[in-house]
Structure 1
């Protein structure tokens, strides 16, 4: 049952919302977390947790249990079919986590939910938000069943189609086109590709990400025009034949699940409007290239939870303006980085030899490889 009043109402129980609530709980602040779904989803898009995100999760006790559920990827490679154009090792990262952790978003959510429960919190389901009335002392939030909750602060962690953002009147910049179309699936494959690294295949038809997950599963993500709602194994095999290895081609042996989604490159005009605060996909969305989205959202969440706890302890609420001012430029930069990776993959045929030569040249320069590793790992976002 929903409470009549709460200090913090977190709308959305994905990784971002759970991380906000777990962070607050660690400061002794009880947040009310609601989600419109009756149960957590069993499929998800994100499949990697980077080093900086693990550093952040360590602060709320979530890094170690998450590492136990994933597998380390010690290298990121960029390929043109059989040729490795760029190889980026993570062994020199200035972090205890010198790898990218390959783990399904469902496992990340499960660990964060366990951390929240261990600190006395829980998610209330299913509650669909339908109204938001801010005022000088907080906001009144209405739900589809007629319930209302009075909150001092409302956190929108409800994803790309955020109702919180919409009802708060915060503009979500971006083009009016339908956005990039992506196909994603978890498969089992017979493959000669190393299982300790992620591969980004560059192809004229668009990029293909090949990412190993625990239990012999491989996550495939590809841009495709008009992706089918329920891709079959033959469609995924065709993608691998079109963009993947040639000399020793992959063979799909089992399709576990598949789906599609569309993504715009968008960033909210502000991450704070009075008592309303945004984090994660409600504040920024972009191409999945580089696996940055969920990672940025989790880091938003912990920063926001720490800041809200300070404000609730009596510090001025202008600290929340500082949160918004610090996180929005990072979102702009991540969106730009993901866009550059996507455009790199779709260079016209005439420009590909030069692109490939450039990438192979970078691969020979350890300082350049190290800078790319830092960027992929999110460590360039770490406060100095």
Structure 2
């Protein structure tokens, strides 16, 4: 659906720039609380590739707020264990079944399906995404912000907003317009993704992260008997064929019972950075998701952290706009969510560096430490809590109620 800039309202309470999973979750959270956001996206239709494929327990919890969790569960694949290996040798097995939540597992579901469900929920709540409209700048003053919107024909119109939320990714125009720094660096290697059909020697009830001298590879089961492959490469091809994926798994995956790739359904390559915004807010402007934090995909937490950002900010904005709390309460968004992202960025960076260690002594010490740690139940539980992002938002009352019914919602 195409929207001309002239059809947009001249004034609105909240403008959301970007309609990926983060922006859609934020929009649903606002609409469910009676606030009608103006959602703008520069592409003509929603993304139709799988990209992020992991939905963690904490994300399933917060998505109860907008009533999409059960729909996700019906379509996704439950995976209750995460295992780190050095080729055939298991180093650390992280089970999720004892987590204090109704969702003691990871849910594997392609991102395009998650986006579709969130988009349908937004429509059911009376909202919509206006496309293809590009935001080229945000001018901030004491009472709000002027958003410059450009249509596909080049026509321009300003929209006045009380609040603007940048959900527009790593190269966020909103963040740059607000003058917010984005501290960090980029990884030297590229990452590749591929969804494949293959013969795999392990159960479909676990995600595997393999260490090897040539780099890491993650293998995760997906619905429809597919597998998600994530790997680092010094120089990644634009697309991966069967031989490319097979070579990755032969070099980094199991040796005793190797995989056999039959078909590549989709593949992509991308560069990854590890950065976090210096602040999540400048006056009426907020940053959410990849606009606020980017990191290695090793733990599968990028989309999850962003969705959790969006749901929390939706509640705060709705309470302030509804007159239920003072505007100062909006500062809680950064106070709570930025430390979460900093922890995720730090954890995934360390995991990526450990996975790509090449010196034999470094690899030996890494493997010995992980194997010893894996024997300690407390360590395994702490690792599971961190991956599931259940060690965040300690003041959330849902945690207490979820812990009383652990496992009851497992399909």
TM-score by length of 1: 0.97
Q: How does 1:106-121 map to 2 (within 5 A)?
A: 106-121=112-127
Whole-angstrom distance in 2 between the partners of 1:50 and 1:292? 8
Offset from partner CA, 1:22-70 (integer Å, 9 cap, x none) = 0011111110111000011111421101111111111211111011110
Partner of 2:77: 71
Deviation at 1:382, TM superposition (A): 3.2
Give the one of 133, 139, 143 matched to 2:145. 139
Partner of 1:123: 129
Give the one of 290, 304, 326 matched to 2:299. 290
Give the one of 212, 221, 225 matched to 1:212. 221
Whole-angstrom distance in 2 between the partners of 1:86 and 1:243? 17
Contact 1:183 1:259 (C-alpha < 8 Å) held by counterparts: yes
Say if 1:79 and 1:324 are closer, same or farther in 2 by CA, change over 3 A: same
Contact 1:272 1:320 (C-alpha < 8 Å) held by counterparts: no
Between the two proteins, the alignment pairs up a number of residues equal to: 383
Q: Which moved more, 1:320-329 or 1:87-96?
A: 320-329
Aligned-residue CA RMSD in angstroms?
A: 1.2
Q: How does 1:315-334 map to 2 (within 5 A)?
A: 315-334=325-344
Contact 1:206 1:346 (C-alpha < 8 Å) held by counterparts: yes
Whole-angstrom distance in 2 between the partners of 1:2 and 1:229? 38
Say if 1:180 and 1:325 are closer, same or farther in 2 by CA, change over 3 A: farther
Contact 1:179 1:264 (C-alpha < 8 Å) held by counterparts: no
Q: Residue 174 of structure 1 aligns to a residue in which SS?
A: strand
Deviation at 1:178, TM superposition (A): 6.3
Q: Residue 45 of structure 1 aligns to a residue in which SS?
A: coil
Q: Residue 231 of structure 2 aligns to a residue in which SS?
A: strand
Contact 1:184 1:222 (C-alpha < 8 Å) held by counterparts: yes
Tell whether 2:305 aligns with 1:299: no
Partner of 2:392: 381
Contact 1:180 1:264 (C-alpha < 8 Å) held by counterparts: no
Moved over 2 A (4+): 177-180
Say if 1:35 and 1:298 are closer, same or farther in 2 by CA, change over 3 A: same
Q: Which moved more, 1:4-13 or 1:225-234?
A: 225-234
Deviation at 1:227, TM superposition (A): 1.3
Gaps of 5+ in 1: none
Offset from partner CA, 1:94-139 (integer Å, 9 cap, x none) = 0010100011111111111121111111111100111211112211
Tell whether 2:400 aligns with 1:360: no
Deviation at 1:206, TM superposition (A): 1.4
Partner of 1:266: 275
Q: How does 1:132-211 map to 2 (within 5 A)?
A: 132-144=138-150, 145-175=155-185, 179-211=188-220
Offset from partner CA, 1:141-163 (integer Å, 9 cap, x none) = 11223122111110000111111
Whole-angstrom distance in 2 between the partners of 1:116 and 1:179? 38
Deviation at 1:179, TM superposition (A): 4.7
Whole-angstrom distance in 1 between the partners of 2:203 and 2:87? 14
Offset from partner CA, 1:153-175 (integer Å, 9 cap, x none) = 10000111111111111111123
Deviation at 1:313, TM superposition (A): 1.4
TM-score by length of 2: 0.91
Q: Residue 59 of structure 1 aligns to a residue in which SS?
A: helix
Q: Which moved more, 1:303-312 or 1:135-144?
A: 135-144
Gaps of 5+ in 2: 1-6, 396-411
Whole-angstrom distance in 2 between the partners of 1:49 and 1:16? 13
Whole-angstrom distance in 2 between the partners of 1:89 and 1:327? 26
Deviation at 1:316, TM superposition (A): 2.1
Whole-angstrom distance in 1 between the partners of 2:57 and 2:307? 12
Contact 2:187 2:274 (C-alpha < 8 Å) held by counterparts: no
Partner of 1:47: 53
Q: Which moved more, 1:280-289 or 1:314-323?
A: 314-323
